Amino acid sequence: MLNFNPQGSLFYQMIIHAGPMAKLVLFILTLMSIFSWAIMVNKWLIFRKVKRQTEAFRETFWRTGDLKIVLAEARNYAASPLSLIFQEAFLELKRWLKDKNAFKRDRKAFLNSVNEAMRKAAYTEYSHLRKGLAFLATVGNIAPFIGLFGTVWGIMRAFHDIGLKGSASLADVAPGISEALIATAFGLAAAIPAVIGYNYFTQCLIEQKTEMDNFATDLQNRLKRKYLIYSEKEVSDEII
């Protein structure tokens, strides 16, 4: 049976013998890495759920012609941006249809109001899905520089020790340099997954934005075909 002695680990020794500034840098980079991974796992779960519910709601929307039935189904897909956009559009449509005089006076105006409601809902959902990506971008951009700062500081400390000892042999220089370079390794270890995660989830976000834009256009076209040609009484009886 193999016995693992932490004190004998080179990696562990380099961290333990690092200076206070290097340890602070490593601590910051470790926190950044932990938060980055937490965000990536959370975003992966969110986008997986969003994609699944969006596909289900889109199928319901095209299968059903009655908007009241679509609304009832939409409440079962709370994670889908399309569902929330539809609910906001439906509520705005009902407000207009309750005001019979306004609807009779200018039916086309209600489409503008519905479109504005969908636009606001889409922006809200886009902002919600985008949360956390800025942090990943920040980690991907600055983590290598933080690690480089730790490395430069460690090298300065190593050369300072060499000056005090008056010796520049490899045995004296190598330990300090290796301890300094670990900060760069930590910086890259934090930055690389963050960059990959940011690029992946940005692509997921673009796909969802495209879905929202296409759905808003489809819903607008359905409203044009369905309600601009109805009489006021027919529309009111069906929706309210």
For residue 103, the model assigns a pLDDT of: 58
For residue 151, the model assigns a pLDDT of: 84
For residue 150, the model assigns a pLDDT of: 85
Residue 105 lies in a domain: yes
Mean pLDDT, consecutive 10-residue stretches, the chain (240 aa), reads 47 66 86 96 95 92 85 88 91 76 64 87 93 95 91 76 62 64 88 96 94 91 73 46
Residue 128 lies in a domain: yes
For residue 35, the model assigns a pLDDT of: 96
How far is residue 78's CA from residue 233's CA, in Å, rounded to a whole number?
A: 32
Residue 7 lies in a domain: no
25, 182 Cβ separation under 8 angstroms: no
27, 187 Cβ separation under 8 angstroms: no
Residue 9 lies in a domain: no
For residue 197, the model assigns a pLDDT of: 96
Q: What is the pTM of this model?
A: 0.79
For residue 236, the model assigns a pLDDT of: 46
Closest by CA position to 126, among listed 213, 8, 235: 213
Domain assignment of residue 100, given as a range: 19-239
53, 215 Cβ separation under 8 angstroms: no
Residue 202 lies in a domain: yes
For residue 196, the model assigns a pLDDT of: 96
For residue 21, the model assigns a pLDDT of: 78
Q: 């679509």: which residue's tokens?
A: 70
Residue 139 lies in a domain: yes
For residue 7, the model assigns a pLDDT of: 44
Residue 6 lies in a domain: no
Residue 1 lies in a domain: no
> How many domains, in total, are found in the chain?
1
189, 114 Cβ separation under 8 angstroms: no
Read off the tokens for 84. 């929330």
